[in-house]
Amino acid sequence: MTALRHGKYPFILVFLLPPVGIYALYMLSPYVQAIHISMTDWSGLTATQTFIGFDNYVEMWNDDQLRTALRNNLILLVVVPVLTLLLGLFFASMLNVGGRSRGAAVAGVRGSSIYKVVYFFPQVLPHAIVAIVFAYVFAPSNAGGILNNVLEAIGLGGLTQLWLAEPKYLIWIVVLVMTWAFVGFYVVLFSAAMQSIPLDIYEAALLDGSSRLTTFRKVTLPLVWDTVQVGWVYMAIQAMDGFAIVHIMLGVNGGVQGSGDVLGVAIYRAAFAQSDFGYAAAIGVLMLVLTMTIVLLFMRILRREKVELA
Amino acid sequence: MTTTETGTPGTSADPSPLRPRIRQPGLGAGRAIGLLNGGFLLFWGLITTLPLVWAILSSFKTNGEFRTDPMGFPDGLEGDNFARAWNAANIGQYFMNSVIVVTMSLTMTMLFGAMGAYVLARYDFPGNRLVYYSFLGGLVLPVFLALVPMFFVVRNTGSLPVIGGLLGLNSYLSLALVYVAFSMPFTVFFLAAFFRTLPTSVAEAGIVDGCSHFSLFFRVMLPMAKPGIISLALFNLLGHWNQYVLPLVIMQDDDKRVLAQGLGTLAATTGFRADWTALFAGLVIALMPVLIVYILFQRQVQAGLTAGILK
């Protein structure tokens, strides 16, 4: 581009300044400040911050509520991806190789494109809407509770519960809601991967008399495994969040006895309900460490040089 | 393989076992499995749609109907729910707030994102990699770590000379800029990959024609990147529209709340006000734009969202 050498640097500067400036001010600089704030006892009201070293971190260690939140995050981190990926693989294989029409040996089921459109929809919904709807799914029968009403309608009235009033159910309800919201995305993702598998591989497997299950295990799964791995990392990062769902469905305190609490909500609560910004930042650092550990762990396990996430 | 036996979460009534039939594939068994497959698929389809259909039906009921027969169909179409949601419950204001913020944030995200990505993808200069990787780093950093300091950054921009009045807390522009910042990593990453694939020959032709750097970008490269820009714009549109935690921190005045945030607050007070149907009407109002975008651009939305993790 010798012809354009003239004026190259002013151009680069003009083009980079807005994106880099906004990014640095609103995203990078907060991350840098967070570490410093986490070592202060700042209430946000004073101009000066007292440096207290690692006191906030010691406090975290002794904070039972935070331990609940951390435990819940770990549950989300493990269970949501496993459930979501298994269901995603299951439905994707049903959609793409589930049907067996006369002409082709292996075919997708009828209406599979409609299923994909429907399954994917929760992915584009605001989590706020998901949370509100599911607050009513698990509400008591006389307050609209869909689940209880359905249970009664099909003769399983004995199973009805005050779902959101039972501490030990809360995090599992969050697991279900998140899984509900994410599965469709992975069905579409895995479907795309499965459709790129050549049909004659399936025909060969079929001729060899392999059953559906064997075909899935020996043909489909290995060929989409790359996509599953990438999906896994992405899912793990997403599962760290859960803020909108917990905040709206269970409230800012994490529901009954705080037992549905997650780290994101704990940060928000410490900062904006208790004005303990130093402590909130310290929990943020904990979350960073957790996220980085997962990312590095996955990159290690998957031995992929470039794992990129959205 | 456990996959086929996992069934669906949230259901104690799991259909008949799958494994015995799979072990003996024959013609009859094949048909039975086919039906079972169809059953599973339909079942998940219902799990996905029914809660939403229920919410939509509820938005047309009277509060009396909602209380006495939560699972039934509405007797008539109670349009007043929507009027109450729009006016009394402030959903109209929240809706407009969302439109204003997302219009600003989406325009800036796409413009600035494309500019940054283009320069990083196609120009050599010292520090190129450094800037690129600092954008990339933002992909894995948790939003929540930045939440507290970001609040103070935004608050402090309010006391800047001249432009301070436009910024600070409870400002549309502030929230939009925060959205832009948080969208930059993925936007730059995605578009840089896209710009890299564009043929150099076209750029060279432009240079021969005497294009400046600026006109080369705006008149040649940007139009060529249109498919990538569109799928990414849809991705960001949904992301910004659905955002919940960032506005919760920045928009603290009641009349500045955005839709998802306002809806969350409304849900929290609905029980006290005994006006459930207005909540569901508000929910439907919030749902509609997303539903319309999804139906119109279904293919691009799916492609845009899934391409993100495959690249």
* Residue range B105-133, pLDDT digits in tens: 999 999 999 999 999 999 999 999 999 99
Q: How many CB atoms lie within 10 A of CB B80?
A: 12
On average, the pLDDT of chain B sits at 85
Predicted confidence (pLDDT) per residue in A24-47, tens digit? 999 999 998 898 888 888 877 676
Check pLDDT > 80 for residue A1.
no
Nearest to A15 by CA among B131, B117, B233: B117
**pTM for this prediction:** 0.88
Nearest to B132 by CA among B124, A68, A120, A108: B124
Q: Out of B2, B248, B294, whose CB is closest to A121?
A: B294
**What confidence score (pLDDT) does residue A79 get?**
94
Question: What are the boundaries of each domain within chain B?
Answer: 20-83, 89-310
Q: Out of B37, B55, B131, whose CB is closest to A94?
A: B37
B67 touches chain A (CB under 8 A): yes
Please report the DSSP string for B118-166 in residue order: HHHHH---TTHHHHHHHHHHTTTS-HHHHHHHHHHHHHHHTTSTTGGGG
Q: Do residue B45 and residue A115 have CB atoms under 8 angstroms apart?
A: yes
All residues of chain A having their beta carbon less than 8 Å from the beta carbon of residue B241 are 126
Mutate to test the interface with A, among B148, B213, B217, B248 (most CBs of A within 10 A): B148
How far, in Å, are A2, A35, A188, B121, B128 from residue A5 at the CA level? 5, 42, 46, 17, 17
On average, the pLDDT of chain A sits at 85
**What confidence score (pLDDT) does residue B8 get?**
38
All residues of chain B having their beta carbon less than 8 Å from the beta carbon of residue A213 are 1, 4, 19, 22
**What confidence score (pLDDT) does residue A309 get?**
39
The CATH architecture annotation of domain A68-251+283-302 reads Orthogonal Bundle (1.10)
Scanning the structure block, which residue is given the tokens 């599992």?
A172
Say how far apart CA A197 and CA A226 lie, in whole Å.
13
The answer for residues whose C-beta is within 8 angstroms of residue A179's C-beta and 6 or more apart is A80, A83, A84, A87, B9
Is A156 in contact with B13 (CB distance < 8 Å)? yes
Say how far apart CA B139 and CA B150 lie, in whole Å.
17
**What confidence score (pLDDT) does residue B194 get?**
87
The CATH architecture annotation of domain B89-310 reads Orthogonal Bundle (1.10)
Chain B neighbours among A 201-240 (CB < 8 Å)?
211-213, 216-217, 227, 230-231, 234, 237, 240
Q: Do residue A26 and residue B150 have CB atoms under 8 angstroms apart?
A: yes
All residues of chain A having their beta carbon less than 8 Å from the beta carbon of residue B310 are 189, 227, 230
**Higher pLDDT pick, B70 / A168:** A168
All residues of chain A having their beta carbon less than 8 Å from the beta carbon of residue B291 are 121
Can you tell me whether residue B78 is helix, strand or coil? coil
Say how far apart CA B211 and CA A179 lie, in whole Å.
51
Q: Do residue A90 and residue B23 have CB atoms under 8 angstroms apart?
A: no
Nearest to A124 by CA among B309, B142, B286, B193: B286
Position A22: which residue type?
A: I
Predicted confidence (pLDDT) per residue in B256-281, tens digit? 999 999 999 999 888 777 788 999 99
A57: left (phi over 0), alpha (psi -120 to 50) or beta: alpha
A17 touches chain B (CB under 8 A): no
Question: What are the boundaries of each domain within chain A?
Answer: 68-251+283-302
Say how far apart CA B156 and CA A46 lie, in whole Å.
13
Is A225 in contact with A303 (CB distance < 8 Å)? no
**What confidence score (pLDDT) does residue A108 get?**
63
Query: What chain B residue is nearest to A80 in terms of C-alpha separation?
Result: B9
Say how far apart CA A135 and CA A252 lie, in whole Å.
14
Check pLDDT > 60 for residue B207.
yes
Chain A neighbours among B 94-133 (CB < 8 Å)?
108, 111-113, 115-116, 118-120, 123, 125, 131
CA B258, A179, A235, A194: dihedral to nearest 10 degrees? Answer: -120
Q: What is the DSSP letter of B101?
A: H
How far, in Å, are A137, B122, B237, B270 from residue A125 at the CA level? 17, 36, 12, 21
Query: What chain A residue is nearest to B237 in terms of C-alpha separation?
Result: A124
Q: Could you tell me how far CA B109 lies from the centroid of its own chain? A: 14
Instruction: Give the H or E element holding residue B99.
Output: helix B91-122
Mutate to test the interface with B, among A17, A22, A152, A208 (most CBs of B within 10 A): A22
Say how far apart CA B189 and CA B136 lie, in whole Å.
7
Predicted confidence (pLDDT) per residue in B12-68, tens digit? 344 444 434 333 344 556 677 777 778 889 999 999 999 999 999 999 988 888 888
**What confidence score (pLDDT) does residue A128 get?**
95
All residues of chain B having their beta carbon less than 8 Å from the beta carbon of residue A7 are 212-213
Average pLDDT over residues B219-242: 90
> Distance from B110 to chain A by nearest Cα, in Å?
10
A132 touches chain B (CB under 8 A): yes
Query: What chain A residue is nearest to B175 in terms of C-alpha separation?
Result: A26
In terms of average pLDDT, the best of A89-103, A206-220, A276-290 is A276-290
Nearest to A283 by CA among B178, B250, B137, B142: B142
Q: How many CB atoms lie within 10 A of CB A13?
A: 12
Check pLDDT > 70 for residue B101.
yes
Q: Do residue B119 and residue A184 have CB atoms under 8 angstroms apart?
A: no
Average pLDDT over residues A183-202: 87
All residues of chain B having their beta carbon less than 8 Å from the beta carbon of residue A98 are 34, 37, 41
Q: Do residue B151 and residue A271 have CB atoms under 8 angstroms apart?
A: yes
Query: What chain A residue is nearest to B33 in terms of C-alpha separation?
Result: A98
Percent of chain B with pLDDT over 90: 51
Chain A neighbours among B 150-209 (CB < 8 Å)?
150-154, 177-178, 180-182, 184-186, 188-189, 203-204, 207-208
Predicted confidence (pLDDT) per residue in A76-114, tens digit? 999 999 999 999 999 998 888 765 543 444 556 677 888
